[in-house]
Amino acid sequence: MTRDLDHLFDQNVVWAQQKTRDDPDYFRRMAEQQTPRYLWIGCSDSRVTANDVLRLDPGEVFVHRNIANVVHTSDLNILSVLEFAVDHLQVRHVIVCGHYACGGIQRVLANARGAMFDHWLQPVAMLYRKHRAMFDSIADEAKRVDRMCEINVEMQVRRVAATPIIENAWARGQTLHVHGWLYGVHDGLLRDLGPTLSSIAERDALPSIDERVLAPGEPVSAVRRHALEAFGCCDEAGGKDAPEG
Ligand SMILES: [Zn+2]
């Protein structure tokens, strides 16, 4: 057995002991059942861990992650996770959460080719090529990447909401909301891209992804929302949430 990972096992013991000290019933409860209310579909990026940014304990969020939080509608992995979360765990919320400065999105905008994960990113690359003139008109490279990160989340929200798993849940009257969020690795804040989808009718009423490329939404964090509510208007009191690059 290799010894260079001993520190991880040592840290694990410290963590388990700490948890038990804080809450003697913790692992007994964990062993009984998981009842998460949320499914998180996020990026594999090591900086964006669902439990940490949501400040949730183990057991509270069901997670699927892949490079650039792409929803491939023929991906057995994501579809199985989605079905288990919606049909079995009965989660109330499906959250597609991308993040700014995403390496996968940077790769798409750099027109990189040849690797398996370029193939994985193909739906994003196709959208970029289709609207290349618009994206390339954003002179600042970081802003261009961040805009693509946002539009990617909007596209994946549409894709997940188009699966029969979500459609069937809505059709049988199950309470289920689909969200599109962005996480800022530069400030730790989550932003809601809106709108939240709670029915087939709401999904069908969405503008097309091509329209959204041309007329982008404005993501809002809780910090900004609270500031806007405090000032009672839509000025810049809370500062813009989209990163300035
Ligand atoms: Zn990423």
Report the separation in Å between the CA atom of 13 and the middle of ligand 1, taken as the mean of its atom positions: 30
Report the separation in Å between the CA atom of 120 and the middle of ligand 1, taken as the mean of its atom positions.
13
What is the whole-number distance in angstroms between the Cα of residue 12 and the centre of ligand 1? 27
CA 116 / ligand 1 centre spacing (Å)? 16
pTM assigned to the model: 0.92
User: Can you give the CATH number for the domain in which 75 is found?
Assistant: 3.40.1050.10
How many residues comprise the chain? 245
Residue 24 lies in a domain: no
Q: Evaluate whether residue 85 is within a structural domain.
A: yes
Task: Assess if residue 236 is contained within a domain.
Answer: no
What total of structural domains would you count in the chain? Answer: 1
pLDDT tens profile 97-152: 999 999 999 999 999 999 999 999 999 999 999 999 999 999 999 999 999 999 99
User: Is the separation of the CB atoms in 200 and 210 below 8 Å?
Assistant: no
Give, for all 245 residues of the chain, the pLDDT tens digit.
668 999 999 999 999 999 999 999 999 998 987 899 999 999 999 999 999 999 998 899 999 999 999 999 899 999 999 999 999 999 999 999 999 999 999 999 999 999 999 999 999 999 999 999 999 999 999 999 999 999 999 999 999 999 999 999 999 999 999 999 999 999 999 999 988 999 999 999 999 999 999 888 888 888 888 888 887 755 444 456 777 55
* Ligand 1 centroid – CA 222 distance (Å): 22
3 domain-assigned: no
Question: Among candidates 216, 165, 176, 217, which has minimal Cα distance to 199?
Answer: 176
* Strand order through the sheet with 220-221: 61-66, 38-43, 93-99, 177-183, 190-192, 220-221
Residues annotated as catalytic are 43, 45, 47, 99, 102
Ion ligand 1 residues within 5 Å by Cβ: 43, 45, 102, 104
67 CA from centroid of ligand 1 (Å): 6
CA of 103 from ligand 1 middle (Å) equals 5
**Cα 74 to middle of ligand 1, angstroms:** 21
Look at strands 93-99 and 177-183 and give their pairing. parallel
- Provide φ and ψ at 121, rounded to 5°: -85, 5
Q: Compute how many other C-beta atoms are within 10 angstroms of the C-beta atom of residue 219.
A: 25
Closest CA to 148 of 110, 91, 203, 120: 110
In the reported structure, the alpha carbon of residue 99 is separated from the centroid of ligand 1 by a whole-number distance in angstroms of 6
Classify residue 20: in a domain, yes or no. no
Domain membership flag for residue 227: yes
Domain extent at residue 168: 35-231
Residue 11 placed within a domain? no
Give the model's pLDDT for residue 235. 47
In a domain, 27, yes or no: no
Nearest alpha-carbon partner for 197 in 157, 165, 153, 225: 157
